[in-house]
């Protein structure tokens, strides 16, 4: 069978499975998820054996130690995968929820009922734990999933999927509910992106290059985010101790992730008071500051920011700092340089907090809290399949509910249209 035919066959099977999955009871899905978690733990030796093959190829191919680090399946990583499946089992089942119902003048009752999206394609890099996380979330939301991980993790991903499929089978879940594309050929991805009749949604997870490739080739809707350029604006009325703690956390707690702060905006009226002590604190953590001319006057030892430092996703202990004249300038800067991801204001001013919340067009907008909370788990969604800065369907952290859509349901008593 050609690769093209093979991918088509997988997708067709996934579509068939999706009809069954959409009607699976919550208790069947939850028992399957719980048992998948237990089976992953029990199968740790097999998983590590498959993983060892990937690791050995990766070392031969000279992959960086950071990449190898992300690839490795330790007992801790396997435990984390199991924990995540247990958590997903505990989440409420969105499928079948009727969010509202209303009565039309002619007596029709019209409502919106949540249903699974159908078949989801996930294209991701390195980390094999994404395989079980994504499979668990898709199963909970009643979707079939086709997984395409990085070529360097192929044996690990296939081993994980085999375990999930075997447990699924015992619960009447067809193997086509969770499929890993069993080849590393890039052509498989291109073929997958053409199958709009079988696949409802593509979620790429990885670097900007991967995501741009997927968007440019896909005939299927893609939910994506390219980057996270998060801002914190410290307003004139801010509680400065709070501002210091939030800014430090937003920058330093985990600088390599998309919800870390990349640019600090400070109101002119408190810049002289705030910036030197904030800079002192950042110094203890080794943060490199790059300031606008006004910030540099207050902090002579820091670097001058260059034009492309604004809107830059450093993913590192580097921070651009700008002094602004007020709220309008801060919002203007965020609109110009932000990435629709996450932005926060630190303020004690009621009007400014409200204006910031309403006017900043990012997927998560916070008052007096760290940008690091922009995360499905932290916001209370339970688990997260990804973050969307595509302003469609889902915007921001996406949980189980965002793996569903709604259909109209109508209860009539013989109505016809006049």
Residues that bind a second copy (CB under 8 A): 19, 22-23, 96, 102, 104, 108, 110, 113, 115, 117-118, 196, 200-201, 215-216, 219, 221-223, 239, 242, 245-246, 248-250, 253, 335, 353, 357-359, 361-370, 372-374, 378-380, 390-393, 395-397, 405-417
Q: Which two tokens stand for residue 62?
A: 């000279």
| Ramachandran class of 156: left when φ > 0, alpha when ψ lies in -120 to 50, beta otherwise | alpha
Least CB distance to a second copy at residue 222 (A): 8
| Beta carbon nearer to a second copy, 175 or 335 | 335
Whole-number Cα distances in Å, 221 to 200, 217, 246, 387: 7, 11, 36, 15
Question: Considering only CA atoms, which of 236, 237, 257, 262 is closest in space to residue 247?
Answer: 262
Question: Considering only CA atoms, which of 408, 418, 393 is closest in space to residue 120?
Answer: 393
Least CB distance to a second copy at residue 8 (A): 17
In a 13 Å sphere around the CA of 245, the CA atoms on its Cβ side amount to 7
| Beta carbon nearer to a second copy, 162 or 367 | 367
Question: Considering only CA atoms, which of 170, 173, 97 is closest in space to residue 136?
Answer: 173
Distance CA 390, CA 413 (A): 40
Distance CA 110, CA 96 (A): 15
Q: Which two tokens stand for residue 247?
A: 């800014």
Least CB distance to a second copy at residue 397 (A): 7
Least CB distance to a second copy at residue 152 (A): 28
Question: Considering only CA atoms, which of 68, 69, 77 is closest in space to residue 44?
Answer: 77
CB 187, CB 3: distance < 8 Å: yes
| Beta carbon nearer to a second copy, 129 or 364 | 364
| Beta carbon nearer to a second copy, 165 or 249 | 249
Least CB distance to a second copy at residue 250 (A): 8
E-only strand ranges, 86-154: 98-103, 109-116, 119-124, 144-148
CB 285, CB 400: distance < 8 Å: no
Distance CA 21, CA 17 (A): 6
Q: Based on C-alpha coordinates, what's the Rg of the chain?
A: 24
The conformation of residue 373, written as its DSSP 8-state character, comes to G
Crossing angle of the two packed helices 26-42 and 129-140, in degrees rounded to 10: 160
| Beta carbon nearer to a second copy, 22 or 179 | 22
In a 13 Å sphere around the CA of 205, the CA atoms on its Cβ side amount to 23
Least CB distance to a second copy at residue 141 (A): 12
| Beta carbon nearer to a second copy, 303 or 355 | 355
Distance CA 411, CA 416 (A): 13
| Beta carbon nearer to a second copy, 293 or 332 | 332
Least CB distance to a second copy at residue 237 (A): 14
| Beta carbon nearer to a second copy, 282 or 296 | 282
CB 231, CB 344: distance < 8 Å: yes
Q: Which two tokens stand for residue 413?
A: 């008593």
| Beta carbon nearer to a second copy, 22 or 156 | 22
| Beta carbon nearer to a second copy, 37 or 214 | 214
| Beta carbon nearer to a second copy, 92 or 293 | 92
Least CB distance to a second copy at residue 240 (A): 11
Least CB distance to a second copy at residue 9 (A): 17
Least CB distance to a second copy at residue 7 (A): 19
Least CB distance to a second copy at residue 12 (A): 12
Distance CA 138, CA 144 (A): 7
Q: Which helix or strand (DSSP H or E) is residue 24 part of?
A: none
């Amino acid at each position: 069978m050609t690769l093209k035919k093979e991918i088509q066959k997988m997708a067709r099977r996934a579509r068939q499975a999706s009809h069954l999955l959409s009607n699976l009871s919550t208790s069947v899905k939850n028992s399957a998820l719980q048992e998948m978690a237990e089976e992953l733990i029990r199968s740790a030796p097999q998983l590590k054996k498959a993983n060892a093959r990937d690791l050995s190829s990766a070392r031969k191919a000279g992959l960086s130690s950071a990449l190898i680090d992300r690839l490795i399946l330790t007992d801790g990583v396997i435990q984390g995968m199991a924990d995540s499946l247990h958590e997903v089992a505990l989440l409420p089942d969105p499928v079948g929820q009727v969010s509202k119902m209303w009565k039309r003048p002619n007596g029709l009752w019209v409502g919106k009922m949540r249903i699974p999206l159908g078949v989801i394609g996930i294209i991701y890099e390195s980390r094999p734990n994404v395989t079980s996380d994504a499979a668990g979330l898709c199963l909970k939301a009643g979707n079939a999933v086709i997984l395409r991980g990085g070529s360097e993790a192929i044996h690990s991903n296939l081993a994980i999927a085999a375990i999930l499929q075997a447990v699924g089978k015992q619960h009447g879940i067809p193997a086509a509910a969770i499929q890993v594309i069993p080849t590393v050929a890039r052509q498989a991805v291109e073929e997958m992106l053409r199958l709009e009749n079988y696949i409802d949604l593509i979620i790429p997870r990885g670097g900007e290059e991967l995501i741009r490739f997927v968007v440019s080739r896909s005939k299927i809707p893609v939910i994506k985010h390219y980057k996270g350029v998060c801002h914190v604006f410290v307003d004139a009325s801010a509680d400065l101790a709070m501002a210091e703690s939030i800014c430090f956390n937003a920058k330093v707690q985990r600088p390599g992730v998309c919800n870390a702060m990349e640019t600090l905006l400070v109101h002119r009226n408190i810049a002289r008071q705030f910036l030197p002590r904030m800079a002192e604190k950042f110094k203890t953590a080794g943060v490199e500051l790059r300031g606008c001319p006004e910030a540099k006057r207050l902090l002579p030892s820091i670097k001058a920011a260059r034009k492309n430092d604004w809107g830059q996703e450093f993913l590192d202990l580097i921070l651009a700092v700008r002094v602004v004249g007020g709220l309008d300038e801060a919002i203007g800067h965020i609109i110009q340089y932000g990435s629709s991801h996450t932005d926060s204001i630190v303020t004690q001013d009621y009007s400014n907090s409200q204006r910031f919340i309403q006017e900043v067009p990012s997927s998560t907008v916070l008052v007096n809290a760290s940008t690091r909370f922009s995360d499905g788990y932290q916001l209370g969604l339970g688990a997260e399949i990804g973050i969307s800065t595509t302003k469609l369907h889902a915007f921001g952290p996406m949980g189980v509910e965002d793996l569903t859509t709604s259909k109209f349901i109508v209860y009539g008593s013989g109505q016809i249209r006049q």
